[in-house]
């Protein structure tokens, strides 16, 4: 199964786990599985419409991913805040 890698504070919301194996064949499916398994994460990465928040980057391995980006069993998803803010 693909692995999602999280940093704080998301990892804290996921029970302290920094790496989680989750089922899914797209980025959205994997992140929705993350929300089901760890409800504390709900609303933090995906907004209420199911879209990745504007200032969150989700990489599939080394490439930027989007909601519909395909994910394979050996892929790693990195959820990282964007380089933005003030």
Is residue 54 packed enough to be buried (19+ CB in 10 Å), middle (13-18) or exposed (0-12)? exposed
Q: Considering beta carbons, is residue 1 or 56 the nearer one to another protein?
A: 56
The C-alpha atoms of residue 20 and residue 1 are separated, in whole angstroms, by 10
Residues 28-67 that bind another protein (CB under 8 A): 40, 43-45, 47-51, 53, 55-56
- Counting residues that bind another protein (by CB under 8 A) gives 19
Q: Considering beta carbons, is residue 1 or 17 the nearer one to another protein?
A: 17
Furthest C-alpha separation in the chain: 37
Interacting residues toward another protein by CB under 8 A: 9-10, 40, 43-45, 47-51, 53, 55-56, 81-82, 84-86
């Amino acid at each position: 199964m693909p692995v999602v890698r999280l940093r704080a504070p998301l990892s804290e919301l996921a029970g302290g786990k920094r790496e989680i194996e989750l089922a899914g064949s797209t980025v959205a499916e994997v992140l929705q599985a993350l929300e089901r398994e760890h409800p504390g994460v709900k609303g933090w990465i995906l907004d209420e419409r199911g879209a990745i928040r504007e200032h969150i980057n989700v990489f599939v391995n080394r490439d930027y991913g989007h909601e519909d980006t395909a994910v394979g069993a050996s892929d790693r998803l990195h959820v990282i805040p964007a380089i933005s803010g003030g």
